[in-house]
Amino acid sequence: MSNNYFNSLSLREQLEQLGKCRFMHLAEFTDGVAALKGKKMVVIGCGAQGLNQGLNLRDSGLDVSYTLRAEAIADKRQSWKNATENGFTVGTYEELIPTADVVLNLTPDKQHTAVVNAVMPLMKKGACLSYSHGFNIVEEGMKVRDDLTVIMVAPKCPGSEVRAEYVRGFGVPTLIAVHEDNDPNGEGLALAKAYAVGTGGHKAGVLMSSFIAEVKSDLMGEQTILCGMLQTGSLLCFDKMIEEGIDAGYASKLIQYGWETVTEALKYGGVTNMMDRLSNPAKIKAFDLAEEMKDIMRPLYNKHQDDIMTGKFSETMMADWANDDKELLGWRADTAESAYEKTAAADVEISEQEYFDNGILMVAMVKAGVELAFETMTSAGIIADSAYYESLHETPLIANTIARKKLYEMNSTISDTAEYGCYLYNHACVPLLGDFMKNIKSDVIGAGMQLNHTGVDNARLIEVNEAIRSHPVEAIGATLRGHMSDMKKIV
C-alpha cells in the first residue's frame, strides 16, 4: 500500500523541497495566535508530547480538547487520566473530530496510517491536519483529502521540556512546514506559525522547513551520528578498555557519562570548543584519529543517505513493521547482552576534565560522526541549517539519554525509525572499524596520554586548529547558536 511520495516528484522538485530550511525572524510572529483564535483544536493522543503541547496551547488562549480511542476512554487508561485530571474535554473520534478545525496528530509514527485513515473521513471540510513528523506523508505516501490543509509543527525537545520552558516564559526550538500539495486555502503557514506561538516555540527560534527536508535529514541524523555512532562507539570503546586492562566499572562509567560530558562542550561551542577541551597533544591525536575514521566510514554514511533518499530504508523498515517488528525486537534484545550493557558503572569519581583526557577516542568519534553526517547531508541537497540541527544540535540530547539509560533503554525510548536505523548502522560500522581498532591503545581511551611534557609543534597545531575551525558545520553552527542566544539571554 505504501507509495513513496518523495519518489513521485521530479528531481527539480526534490531538490527544491530538500533545500528548504530558513531561520525565521521574531518579527514574523507578530500576529501571535490570531490565526487559531476561536478555532477548535483536537489533539489525538495524550502522552507527554500531546499533554504538554495541549497545556501550552490552552494557556495561550486556544480551545483544546483530546480525542482517544473508545477503549482508552472506557478503560480510563493513563492517557484518559492525563487529559481529564488537567481539566480537558475528552471524547471519541466520532464525537470530537467532526467538530475540529485543527486536528493535531501526536501519536507515534507507526500508528499514523491507521490513525489518519480513521480520522480523515470524520474531518470537516476545509479543516487542518497537523503532524509532528513527516514520515507518514513522505515515506508512506499518505494521500490526505484535497480539501484539508496539512502542516507540521515539531518542537525539537521532549514533551516535559516543552511545558517547563513555556511556564518559564520561554519555549523550545521548533520546526514548522506546510505540505504544499495540501494547502487549498493558502492558510497553512499562518496556522503553523500560530501553533508555534501557542506552544512558545517562536521565542526560542522557529525553522521553516518542508516535510521532505525534515524527514530525509531527521532519518539520516538519527541513524548515523546520533544513535548509531554513539552506540557503536560505546561498544568498541568498552571492549577495547577491557582488552587493555582498564577496570570494567570505570570503563562503563567513562562511557555512560562521557558522551554527555564531551557533547555538552559541543552544545556550547561546536566541534571547536569540544576539541579545545583537550590538551594540545591530545587534540592533535583526536584530530588524526577522526580523519582516519572519516575516511573509513564515509562509504557507510553515503549508503545510509542513499537508502534514505531512494526510500529503500523506509521500505525495509515497514516490511519489519508488517512482520510484527521481528528484526527490531531481536536486535534490541541483543543490545541488552553486550558486555558494556551488563557492566554497571563503578562508584568512582571522574572529574569533568577527566572525561576528555581519558576519552580522546570518544571525542574523535563524535567529531568524525558529526562532520560526516553534516557533509553527507549537505552533499545530498539538504541545506546546512537542517543538517546542523539533525547532526550536531541533537547529539547532546541522545548523549543525555545514554547517561540516564545506557543503550538498551536508549533504544527502547527513541522513535521506532531511529531505533531501526541505528541497528543497521551499528551492524555495519562495528566490523568496518575492526582494523582501525586493532591499533588503538589505552592512551586514547581509558588511561589518558600521561605525557611528561605537553609541548607540540607550532606549525602542526596551527594547521589542526585551522582545519577544525574551518569546517562548514562550525560556520553555520556559530550563526544558529548566535540566533538562539540573542533570544535567550543567557547571562
Residues in contact with another protein by CB under 8 A are 33, 37-38, 47-49, 51, 55, 58-63, 78, 81-82, 85-88, 158-161, 167-170, 203, 401, 404-405, 413, 487-491
Q: How far is the CB of 307 from another protein (least distance, A)?
A: 27
First to last CA, the chain: 53
CA angle at residue 383 from 382 to 386, to 5 degrees? Answer: 90
3-class secondary-structure state, position 153? strand
Q: Measure the CA–CA gap between 158 and 178, rounded to whole angstroms.
A: 22
Place of cell 586548529: 465
Select 352 or 457, whichever has its Cβ closest to another protein.
Answer: 352
The DSSP symbol for 245 reads T
Q: Which amino acid is at 68?
A: L
Q: Measure the CA–CA gap between 386 and 18, rounded to whole angstroms.
A: 9
Select 61 or 126, whichever has its Cβ closest to another protein.
Answer: 61
What are the beta bridge partners of residue 176?
A: 153, 208
3-state SS track over 156-217: CCCHHHHHHHHHHCCCCCEEEEECHHHCCCCCHHHHHHHHHHHCCHHHHCEEEECHHHHHHH
Q: How far is the CB of 102 from another protein (least distance, A)?
A: 15
Select 59 or 95, whichever has its Cβ closest to another protein.
Answer: 59
3-class secondary-structure state, position 399? helix
Select 37 or 427, whichever has its Cβ closest to another protein.
Answer: 37
3-class secondary-structure state, position 259? helix
What are the beta bridge partners of residue 375?
A: none
Q: Which residues are catalytic?
A: 133
Select 1 or 491, whichever has its Cβ closest to another protein.
Answer: 491
Closest CA to 437 of 262, 232, 258: 232
Q: Measure the CA–CA gap between 252 and 242, rounded to whole angstroms.
A: 10
Select 312 or 404, whichever has its Cβ closest to another protein.
Answer: 404
Q: Measure the CA–CA gap between 276 and 39, rounded to whole angstroms.
A: 51
